[in-house]
Structure 1
Amino acid sequence: MEAKKWAAVTLMAAGALAACAAPTQGTATPAVTVAAPPNTIVIQPPVVAAPPQTVYVAPQTTQTVYPAPAVPVAQTVIAYYDALNRRDFLTAWNLGGQRLAKGGTYASYVKGFATTSWAALTVTNVRGSTVYVDLSARQTDGSMRSFSGSYTVSDGMIIGANMKRLS
Structure 2
Amino acid sequence: MGAKKWAMVTLAAAGTLAACAVPNQGTAMPAVAVAAPPNTIVIQPPAVAAPPQTVYVAPPATQTVYPAPSVPVAQTVIAFYDAINRRDFLTAWNLGGQRLAKGGTFASWSSGYTTTSWAAVTVRSVSGNTVYVDLSARQTDGSLRTFSGSYTVSGGMITAANMKRLS
Give TM class, smaller chain: 0.5 to 0.7
Structure 2 residue aligned with 1:98:
98
> Could you state the TM-score of these two structures normalised by the residue count of structure 1?
0.62
RMSD: 2.2
Structure 1 residues 29-66: Cα deviation after superposition (integer angstroms, max 9, x where no partner): xxxxxxxxxxxxxxxxxxxxxxxxxxxx8428x97747
> Could you state the TM-score of these two structures normalised by the residue count of structure 2?
0.62
Structure 1 residue aligned with 2:28:
none
Structure 2 residue aligned with 1:81:
81
Whichever structure has more helix as a proportion of its residues is 1
Quick one: higher RCO (CA 8 Å, sep 6+), 1 or 2?
Answer: 1
Structure 2 residue aligned with 1:165:
165
CA distance in 2 between counterparts of 1:155 and 1:64 reads 27
Whichever structure has more strand as a proportion of its residues is 2
CA distance in 1 between counterparts of 2:89 and 2:120 reads 16
Q: What percent of counterpart residues are identical?
A: 77
Against the structure 1 CA distance between its residues 69 and 123, is the aligned structure 2 distance closer, same or farther, given a 3 Å change threshold?
same
Against the structure 1 CA distance between its residues 63 and 94, is the aligned structure 2 distance closer, same or farther, given a 3 Å change threshold?
farther
CA distance in 1 between counterparts of 2:76 and 2:132 reads 12
Q: Which amino acid aligns with 1:139?
A: Q
Task: Confirm whether residue 116 of structure 1 aligns to residue 116 of structure 2.
Answer: yes
Q: What's the offset of the Cα at 1:69?
A: 2.5
Q: Could you tell which deviates more after superposition, 113-122 or 68-77?
A: 68-77
Q: Which amino acid aligns with 1:123?
A: V
Structure 1 residue aligned with 2:36:
none
Q: Confirm or deny: 8 A CA contact 1:64 1:121 kept in the other structure.
A: no
Structure 2 residue aligned with 1:32:
none
Q: Confirm or deny: 8 A CA contact 1:130 1:151 kept in the other structure.
A: yes
Against the structure 1 CA distance between its residues 58 and 64, is the aligned structure 2 distance closer, same or farther, given a 3 Å change threshold?
closer
What is the aligned length? Answer: 110
Runs (4+) of structure 1 exceeding 3 A deviation are 62-66
Mapping of residues 121-160 of structure 1, within 5 Å: 121-160=121-160
